[in-house]
Amino acid sequence: MRDQAEKLREIARGFQHPAKGQIFKRQPAETETQARVITVTSGKGGVGKTNLTVNLALALANLGQRVLVIDADLGLANVEFLLEATPSYNLMDLLEDNCRLSDVVMDGPRGIKFISGGSGLYQLANLGDGQVHKLLSQVVQLDKWADIILIDTGAGLHRNVLNFVVAADEVIIITTPEPTAIADAYAMIKVYASHHGRAPLRLVVNRVLAQDEGQAVVDKLGKVALRFLDVGVASLGFIYEDPNVLRAVKKQVPVVIAHPDTVFSRCVDHIAQRLLYSKEVNAPVGIKGFFGRFLDMLR
């Protein structure tokens, strides 16, 4: 029987035995790359995080990316609502041995996958080494499958949200042009800086009525973040106010599927392209690296 240390060494090498009933059918690429882990967050609630996450995932899938969405909003099951799916299991079940990883991962449209974090993500602080090992050995499979992992967080500055932001390879901060949302986005950037976050921060201004309005927000936030916090914030793009968002939410169909030609969808397509083809990406650490950082912050 192999000992614990040997198993850990295998995980560290990214080695994985083929599991029975494995859902990740794709074989590891010949040149193995880590998934980019991108956290989507905001200071103020209700500014469009979940809609951006789900629709961006679908737009990226259209560009040939394998995308996994993790719903890390403990309070509200946002992602599953937009995808009209009810996962039977979440990460907590995985930790408690009630199921396998393949039971936790759900299939969405266009081949995207998603995981409901449930309370599991917040129980990680209480895990013993054996459970940590078990979790990591399972999530390694996700690294091999996904090109991009998008994490939808709750709003606000509490520790739970912040850990996802600081542990990510990249961070998307979303705000609207409302002064309160901008102030809260600034507060988020400030807390991020105080925790020595180093991932590139990129801003999406949602619900703009005109391009000038979005640009003004980017200029203002960018300037104060640089001057007072010494943090660079790049623009990832604007999304126009669009009545089709509410229509799609009511139908529980993602906007880019229900209304592919509407302004919201075109803006999100643009953002997906920027995300994919922009050069400012650090070498990603993947989901295993992400959980490593995440656990470091908890302990």
Q: Is 50 in the site for Mg ion (CB under 5 A)?
A: yes
Taking the complex as a whole, the smallest distance from the CB of residue 52 to ligand ATP amounts, in Å, to 7
Residue with tokens 């169909």: 253
Looking at the Cβ atoms of 80 and 147, the one nearer to Mg ion is 80
* Contact residues for 39 (Cβ-Cβ < 8 A; gap 6+): 150, 151, 153, 164, 165, 167, 168, 170, 171, 172
> Distance between alpha carbon 240 and the CA centroid of its chain, in Å?
22
User: Contact letters (x/-) for Mg ion, 22-41, by CB under 5 A?
Assistant: --------------------
Q: How many residues bind ligand ATP (CB under 6 A)?
A: 21
Q: Is 42 in the site for ligand ATP (CB under 6 A)?
A: yes
Looking at the Cβ atoms of 143 and 184, the one nearer to ligand ATP is 184
Looking only at the bridges linking them, the beta strands covering 113-116 and 105-107 are antiparallel
Using CB under 6 A as the binding rule, the residues of this chain from 206 to 265 that contact ligand ATP are: 206-207, 239, 241-242, 245-246, 249, 264
Residues forming a β-bridge with 150: 38, 69
Q: Is 153 in the site for Mg ion (CB under 5 A)?
A: no
Q: Is 71 in the site for ligand ATP (CB under 6 A)?
A: no
Burial class (CB in 10 A: 0-12, 13-18, 19+), 68: buried
Q: Is 48 in the site for ligand ATP (CB under 6 A)?
A: yes
Task: Measure the CA angle with vertex 135, ends 159 and 87; round to 5°.
Answer: 80
Q: Interface residues with ligand ATP (CB under 6 A)?
A: 42, 45-51, 73, 78, 154-155, 206-207, 239, 241-242, 245-246, 249, 264
